[in-house]
Amino acid sequence: MVAIDTSGGEALGGGLLTTADGKPLKQALAHAQARARRKALLLVVPLLAFIVITFVVPIGQLLFRSVYNDGFSANMPQVSAWFQETEAGAEPDEAAYAALVADIVASAEARTIGVVGTRVNYEISGTRSLFTSAGRNAKDLQPPYREALLELNAKWADPQLWGVMRSVSSAYSANFYLAAMDLARDANGDIVRAPEDRRIYGMLFLRTLWLSALITGLCLILAYPVAHLLAVLPLARSNLLMILVLLPFWTSLLVRTTSWMVMLQEQGVINNALVALGLVGNESRIQMMYNQAGTIIAMTHILLPFMILPLYSVMRPINPSYVRAARSLGATSWTAFRRVYLPQTLPGIGAGALLVFILAVGYYITPALVGGASGQLISNLIAYHMQDSLNWSLAAALAALLLAGVLILYWLYDRLIGIDNLKLG
Amino acid sequence: MALPIYASPLEKVWHWTYKAICAAIFVFLIAPILIVIPLSFNAEPYFTFTEKMLSFDPEGYSLRWYDRLLTFGMQAPDAPRDWSWWRDVLANATWFDVAWNSIVIGVFSTILATVLGTLAALGLSRPEMPWRRSIMAVLISPMIVPIIITATGLFFFYSKIEIQKWGVPYLGIIMAHATLGIPFVIITVTATLSGFDHSLTRAAASLGANPRTTFFKVIMPLILPGVVSGALFAFVTSFDEVVMVLFIAGHDEQTIPRQMWNGIREQISPAILAVATILVVVSVALLATVEILRRRSEKLRGLSAG
């Protein structure tokens, strides 16, 4: 503890205040402050270390994966070395073919030729079998290797193939980012747009943004009246209604998605009710699921509480006398709402909209279950490349692009609203 | 909100329209959660109300899907239901097994998240805390970063360090779930601490209490409601998490959501609705607990007369 010694201060000279043990007060205070700061930091350090290990490092790993793939370079050392020595666009000579054949033989023996083929296949589809079949036959090839290899398959002379092999001969490449942005490299190594039938990622990013924006808008429209009602009702009654908002929030995501499947399917509750009421014929049941409609409906429901809660916390403290004053001064109820009430709720609108949008952009489970083909979002494609096509580097590049977008939005959220204002329930 | 007596007819119409709109939105919020409950008692293998159910004929309802949950994966589901039948259930029934896994993973990840999160929230709430805002932003980010990205990163990371070979069951999933639960702990505990009077700790210290006594006798009772609701959030997050499990879990590390996911993808059987109903009941119980805690916390901090 710092004890101020007022008596000895002047005796020590300089008019300096000191503590009982003779230290200048300023220094002692700074010392105590630094100690308090260290103590506060010490409490946070264990969690920070944990988050770094289970979150920051893995995401670093993901970013690394998005530019690193040694599937070709690690298994084809000799031809990779030839690429290192020659200029881009150089005609492959006999030495190059000899290196290639030697690598194929070694790789086939180590049973890694499939990995090599897969790596090249990411860039030109249909080339995996070229490598695996060469792997089966390369042992018997005799020099001159160029003719021998071309006899196996004439595709080996394709300049595009050699261009691709050159680009994958280095473990580090930006090719996965190019692919994720619907770009590609041509035989000369120049960046061009991908062939039209392979431009799917840009479309998916756009669709993700568009659907997220639509869902955010729907959530806002639905949440605004409810939040307002909750804010103006007496506390006891609004608490009761609040439980109806919080219950979905606490219910398992899979339960809610399952319920929507039950409600929306062709023989489901909603369609049956519509048929029973005679609004829809039995043959013309509405297709509400396995398309975009399914994604939109279910995600709006799931994200709605994230919009209601911030709106409510902004609306509750608004003093109703402002609106009443506006009315008494002759404003119509619409004008009073638009010019007096709405501006006061803007922080809540911003907070809710940003939060819902950020969460929607990364959604995976719900679109996968009720989205069908047209309701898939970018997350579903990342999952597809992780689990089915096994192009992990492309998945990582797509994830990195999505991450960049989300982090920008998150930064914006923190700047505008402040992350410590986030409240749950 | 009462309508003033001088309201014009148009205002009256608008007032009732507004209430009707709100009611419709509440129906939209709640209906999907309630609809699964009666349907899980369906006697037929359908997802829709049968004639018999609508006319409240007892024959239209049955417990067969709950029974199916119990017997699914058993060696001899049709054996007479004596003591050895129940032992068979405990040993082999799939849903029993996955529920147990979910609970174990949930409990351990909750403990991890709550202990680390509460300590950090205490540090963050101190006025001397440096770089408060940036650290907070990092600690909350697992909630904001799309789960598929976290899961993909963890997949690469865990396969690199070969966590499966460490021989600690569920270790990877527990750590991953704790990471996802931490933001909720931080948010709820910091909210409870926002009204915390720091002179109380100084008062305790000046009365001779050591830091440990101060923590357990002064700080803990005041923040306990926040800690418990944070822990419940963390538990629910873990209990509900499917993407992580799909990406990083081993073959035998099945949880309830993963089993549901498989069930929904293959063909939905009303047995899934029985699981859903049980989960709804669990979430109602958890919500009630949190609500009680919240009221208690407000009373303790003198925010409401309650």
**Token pair for B228:** 């418990």
**In this predicted structure, what is the pLDDT of residue A8?**
46
Half-sphere exposure of B209 (CA within 13 A, CB side): 16
Pick the more confident residue, A421 or B252. B252
Contact B35 A395 (CB under 8 A): no
> Is A397 a residue whose pLDDT tops 90?
yes
Whether A18 and A8 have beta carbons less than 8 Å apart is answered as yes
Chosen for mutation from B50, B152, B166 (greatest number of chain A CBs closer than 10 Å) is B152
**In this predicted structure, what is the pLDDT of residue A62?**
94
Pick the more confident residue, A185 or B42. B42
- Mean pLDDT, chain B, rounded, equals 87
Q: List, in sequence order, every residue forming a beta bridge with B61; answer none if it has no partner.
A: B42
Pick the more confident residue, A347 or B45. A347
Domain boundaries, chain A: 77-172, 200-421
Report ipTM (2 d.p.).
0.89
Closest-CA residue of B relative to A227 is B22
Chosen for mutation from A252, A277, A337, A384 (greatest number of chain B CBs closer than 10 Å) is A252
**CB contacts, 8 Å: B158 with chain A:** 58
Whether A336 and A373 have beta carbons less than 8 Å apart is answered as no
- Predicted structure pTM score: 0.89
Q: Which amino acid is at A387?
A: Q
From CA A115, how far away is CA A162, in angstroms rounded? 17
Contact B18 A54 (CB under 8 A): no
From CA A326, how far away is CA A333, in angstroms rounded? 9
> Is A9 a residue whose pLDDT tops 60?
no
DSSP string, A64-102: HHHHB--TTTTT-HHHHHHHHHS-TTPPP-HHHHHHHHH
Question: A10: pLDDT confidence band, cut at 50, 70 and 90?
Answer: very low
Whether A324 and A368 have beta carbons less than 8 Å apart is answered as no
> Is B222 a residue whose pLDDT tops 80?
yes
State the average pLDDT over residues A67-82. 90
Judged by average pLDDT, the poorest of A51-55, A313-317, B46-50 is B46-50
Determine what percent of chain A is predicted with pLDDT higher than 70.
Answer: 95
State the average pLDDT over residues B87-111. 89
**CB contacts, 8 Å: A251 with chain B:** 33, 279-280, 283
Q: How far is CA A119 from the centre of its chain?
A: 25
State the average pLDDT over residues A70-90. 86
All CATH 1.10.3720.10 domain ranges in chain B, comma separated = 97-268
In Å, how far is B263's CA from the nearest CA of chain A? 10
Contact A269 B35 (CB under 8 A): yes
**CB contacts, 8 Å: B279 with chain A:** 251-252, 255
Chosen for mutation from A420, A421, A423 (greatest number of chain B CBs closer than 10 Å) is A420
**In this predicted structure, what is the pLDDT of residue A11?**
47
State the average pLDDT over residues A355-368. 93
Other residues' Cβ atoms within 10 Å of the Cβ of residue B160: 11
- Say which of B48, B147, B157 has its CB closest to residue A61: B157
Cα angle A348, A352, A357 (rounded to 5 degrees) comes to: 150
Element (H, E) at A23: none
**CB contacts, 8 Å: B188 with chain A:** 424
Which of A385-389, B23-27, B60-64, B188-192 ranks highest by mean pLDDT?
B23-27
Please name which of B87, B245, B67, B176 lies closest in space to residue A53, comparing C-alpha atoms.
B176
State the average pLDDT over residues A195-219. 91
Q: Which amino acid is at A142?
A: Q
DSSP string, A121-177: HHHSTT-HHHHHHHHHHGGG--SSHHHHHHHH-GGGG-HHHHHHHHHHSSSB-SHHH
Contact A269 B135 (CB under 8 A): no
DSSP A195: P
> Is A311 a residue whose pLDDT tops 80?
yes
> Is A37 a residue whose pLDDT tops 50?
yes
Chosen for mutation from A31, A41, A43, A377 (greatest number of chain B CBs closer than 10 Å) is A43
Task: Give per-residue pLDDT as tens, B175-216.
Answer: 999 999 999 999 999 988 887 788 888 899 899 998 889 888
Q: What sections of A251-341 are H helices per DSSP? A: 253-264, 269-276, 292-315, 321-328, 333-336
Q: Say which residue the tokens 């049941």 belong to.
A: A285
Contact B294 A304 (CB under 8 A): no
Pick the more confident residue, A55 or B61. A55
> B97-268 maps to which CATH number?
1.10.3720.10
Closest-CA residue of B relative to A356 is B144
> Is A14 a residue whose pLDDT tops 70?
no
Determine what percent of chain B is predicted with pLDDT higher than 90.
Answer: 41
What are the C-alpha distances in Å from A304 to residues A20, A353, A360, B144? 61, 10, 11, 16
DSSP A337: I
Task: Give per-residue pLDDT as tens, A407-425.
Answer: 999 999 998 888 777 766 5
Please name which of B295, B155, B289 lies closest in space to residue B231, comparing C-alpha atoms.
B289
Please name which of A94, A67, A36 lies closest in space to residue A396, comparing C-alpha atoms.
A67
State the average pLDDT over residues B21-38. 93
> A200-421 maps to which CATH number?
1.10.3720.10
> Is A404 a residue whose pLDDT tops 80?
yes
Question: B77: pLDDT confidence band, cut at 50, 70 and 90?
Answer: confident
**In this predicted structure, what is the pLDDT of residue A229?**
94
Pick the more confident residue, A184 or A346. A346
In Å, how far is B268's CA from the nearest CA of chain A? 9
Pick the more confident residue, A214 or B83. A214
> Is B7 a residue whose pLDDT tops 90?
no
In Å, how far is A124's CA from the nearest CA of chain B? 25
Give me the helix-helix angle, A113-123 and A128-137, nearest 10°.
Answer: 150
Determine what percent of chain A is predicted with pLDDT higher than 90.
Answer: 42
**In this predicted structure, what is the pLDDT of residue A187?**
67
**In this predicted structure, what is the pLDDT of residue B83?**
83
3-state secondary structure of A18: strand
**In this predicted structure, what is the pLDDT of residue B106?**
96
Q: Which amino acid is at A107?
A: S
Return all residues near A141 (Cβ < 8 A) that are at least 6 apart: A101, A148, A149, A152
Length of chain A: 425
Please name which of B277, B244, B276, B279 lies closest in space to residue B258, comparing C-alpha atoms.
B244
> Is A246 a residue whose pLDDT tops 50?
yes
Question: A287: pLDDT confidence band, cut at 50, 70 and 90?
Answer: confident
Contact B242 A254 (CB under 8 A): yes
**In this predicted structure, what is the pLDDT of residue B250?**
82
State the average pLDDT over residues A282-298. 89
Element (H, E) at A409: helix A392-416
State the average pLDDT over residues B3-15. 81
Question: A15: pLDDT confidence band, cut at 50, 70 and 90?
Answer: low
- Say which of A53, A252, A259 has its CB closest to residue B257: A252
Q: Three-state secondary structure along chain B?
A: CCCCCCCCHHHHHHHHHHHHHHHHHHHHHHHHHHHHHHHCCECCCCCCCCHHHHCCCHHHECCHHHHHHHHCCCCCCCCCCCHHHHHHHHHHCHHHHHHHHHHHHHHHHHHHHHHHHHHHHHHHHCCCCCCHHHHHHHHHHHHHCCHHHHHHHHHHHHHHHCHHHHCCCCHHHHHHHHHHHHHHHHHHHHHHHCCCCCHHHHHHHHCCCCHHHHHHHHHHHHHHHHHHHHHHHHHHHHHHCCHHHHHHCCCCCCCHHHHHHHHHHHCCCHHHHHHHHHHHHHHHHHHHHHHHHHHHHHHHCCCCCC
State the average pLDDT over residues A1-19. 56
> Is A232 a residue whose pLDDT tops 60?
yes
Contact A59 B153 (CB under 8 A): yes
> Is A49 a residue whose pLDDT tops 90?
yes
Contact B29 A304 (CB under 8 A): yes
- Say which of B130, B144, B149 has its CB closest to residue A62: B149
From CA A227, how far away is CA A316, in angstroms rounded? 9
Closest-CA residue of B relative to A372 is B265
> Is B239 a residue whose pLDDT tops 60?
yes
Judged by average pLDDT, the poorest of A39-48, A305-314, B70-79 is B70-79
Pick the more confident residue, B154 or A23. B154
Task: Give per-residue pLDDT as tens, B107-124.
Answer: 999 999 999 999 999 999
DSSP A183: E
**In this predicted structure, what is the pLDDT of residue A280?**
84
